[in-house]
Amino acid sequence: MNIPTVSIENIEEMKVICVSFRGAYIEFRKQSKKMFNTLFSFAEQHNLIVKDVSKVLTIYHDNPFVTDAKSLRTSVAMTIPSDTIIEENDDISVISISGKFGIGHFEISLGEYEEAWQYMYQKWLISEKIEPRDAFPFELYVTEPPKSYKGKSFTDIYIPIK
């Protein structure tokens, strides 16, 4: 993994639709394709995908060092226009993301995601002496994640900070 550039940004409001999962990350990975299909299907049915504007992300609601693996909450999500009104259902929920974030800009392979997260929390956050904020961190997929361990893609990791 290459050392990323890190920027700090303030997000006014980013409204997203989510499909959520509760359980260990390994189980989430097994379910994620089905979850993304549900998300994309809903977005297409409701004309929510805006070419070159909509972003896809994965939100991590819990700290895996604090929360028991079977209780970890993870969501796949897509940005939607902020004025959109969505009726939530059993599969789809709506949340807003806002505030200050440290953003690591990575070019990584499938096997490097954990290392990228460790870099952001264990190297960047500590070395810069920045205090984390109580909000959800997430991955934003700048380009589609690789389908094999040989491919690489651009992924931004957002760490909520004070």
Interval 86-99: pLDDT, tens? 999 999 999 999 99
pLDDT digits (tens, 9 = 90+) for 13-22: 999 999 999 9
Q: How many CB atoms lie within 10 A of CB 129?
A: 6
pLDDT of 147 > 70? The answer is no
What is the Cα–Cα distance from 70 to 23, expressed in whole angstroms? 4
DSSP per-residue letters across 101-156: EEEEEEEE-GGGHHHHHHIIIIIIHHHTTPPB-SS--EEEESSPPPSSTT--EEEE
31: enclosing H helix or E strand = helix 25-45
Q: Write down all domains in the chain, each with its CATH number in brackets.
A: 5-160 (3.20.80.10)
- Does the pLDDT of residue 127 top 90, yes or no? no
Q: Global pTM?
A: 0.92
- Nearest-CA neighbor of 6 among 105, 150, 130? 105
